[in-house]
Amino acid sequence: MEYKRLKRYWKLIQKDSSKLDIIHFSKWTHFNKWKSTSDVVNETIAVDDNLKKTYEVYQILLSDIRCENSKGLREHLTLFKDTVSEQMKVAINTLLEYFEYVKNTLSTDITNGPLEGTNNLIKSIKRIVFGYRSFYNFRNRVFIIKNLMKPIENYQAAI
């Protein structure tokens, strides 16, 4: 039963605890009683003490990241380094190794999201059109979709 709960509700465990609902109750598949999402998470992680401790550390680290508190994040990473599961230790060691980059990420609003979106758009166009004969036409289609170029009105293709 515990395995099924962990397998089914893993997304709730990853969710920020401040976003879990504690007021509204509903029926859950692997529980006999009506429960809130917070109750589901608490009963699911209560299976193992190591999982519960790791969950608590995870929530503290999420809070530091959400509040952009790089100093507190570093303190918590070093403090909880040895008290969590082996998988979490690997993640904490990686964050500590690249902490300068993490600190930069927390201190700025710059992201590579728009660039990744453009790359995804180009790959989608390549999948849809099954290849253009000319790179020029492919490039123009990307520009038109991204509104970087206007299509020519009443264009007649040369035959």
Q: What angle do CA 38, 44, 60 make, to 5 degrees?
A: 60
Q: What is the mean pLDDT of each run of 10 residues along the chain (159 residues)?
A: 89 92 92 92 92 94 93 94 91 95 89 91 88 83 87 70
Q: Which residues of 29-59 are buried (b: 16+ CB within 10 A; e: fewer)?
A: ebbeeebbbebbbebbbeeeeebebbbebbe
pLDDT at 132: 78
pLDDT given at position 51: 92
Q: What is the pLDDT of residue 158?
A: 66
- The alpha carbon dihedral of 70, 71, 77, 83 has a sign of negative
Q: DSSP for the chain, please give it.
A: -HHHHHHHSHHHHHS-GGGS-SS--EE-TT-SSEE-HHHHHHHHHTT-HHHHHHHHHHHHHHHHHHTT-HHHHHHHHHHSTTSS-HHHHHHHHHHHHTHHHHHHHHH----SHHHHHHHHHHHHHHHHHT--S-HHHHHHHHHHHTTSSPPPTT-----
pTM flag (> 0.95): no
Query: What pLDDT does residue 157 have?
Result: 66
